[in-house]
Amino acid sequence: MIDVVLVLLALAAGAALLVVVVQRGQRRSSQARELELEPVHRLVFEDVTALGTELQDLDHEMAGRPLDAGARADYQRALDAYEAAKQAAAALRSPEEVRNVTEILEDGRYAVACVQARVHGEALPTRRPPCFFDPRHGPSTSEVPYTPPGGTQRDVPACALDAERVSSGAEPDVRQVLVGTRRVPYWQGGRAYQPYAQGYYGRFTPMDWMFAGLLFGGMGFDGFGGGPGDGAGDGAGEGGDGFGDLFDF
């Protein structure tokens, strides 16, 4: 009888220990994901704020101008995108969810471009991927050859201002993120930034633009995995290649 009691006590102690180990592992995993989400969360909130500023500027630009039904519809679409992006950003729980926010922001910025075109009596802009150097710059206007430090030349989509900078030999206005103590281009930020880029560029199929080789090279359209930079914590110059094949310079 005593032997049975001892066995039961040992089993209970083992189960309790297992629960403690599992809970500790879950806490560590949760803390790691929170640390991974924090900088991306901050980045996407900056993007949402930037769209809000663009909408304020658009209000001033439209002041006193008559708006037809198309312009009003596009303007409402831009406002709705801003509100939806704010709500989606506030609800983020993992880096993977950032894609939902940047998809909304891309649509909102295209709507802004449509309003501006209608107000100025211009043709509606072709739906193009955002500027590679900083998606906040809005839809690109052309592809430009770009050679990052230590990389090879590729054609990337650029807004008008960055295209002008590159063509004149100046540095484009690149979106920087903090990795450790260093500021690096967002495409070298590591695995957590992959969904950020995927939301902005994922709707554009490889047949639509020359940038496809950079964004989806070697992984398939729905990839964003694999490659040497896919491990957590990978960063520029820190044992990884940022996005690996995502931006394979």
pLDDT recorded at residue 125: 93
The predicted-structure confidence for 80-117, as pLDDT tens digits, reads as follows: 999 999 999 999 998 889 999 999 999 999 999 999 99
Taking CA atoms, 18 is separated from 4, 9, 14, 24, 29, in Å, by: 21, 14, 6, 10, 16
Compute the distance between CA of residue 73 and CA of residue 93 in angstroms, rounded to an integer: 32
pLDDT recorded at residue 202: 85
pLDDT recorded at residue 91: 94
Sign of CA dihedral 149, 155, 157, 158: positive
Q: Are 122 and 193 in contact (CB under 8 A)?
A: no
Compute the distance between CA of residue 134 and CA of residue 176 in angstroms, rounded to an integer: 9
pTM: 0.73
Give the DSSP letter of residue 130. B
Residues of the chain with pLDDT under 50: 207-246
Q: Which residues contact 174 (CB under 8 A, 6 or more apart)?
A: 133, 134, 185, 186
pLDDT recorded at residue 94: 87
pLDDT recorded at residue 158: 95
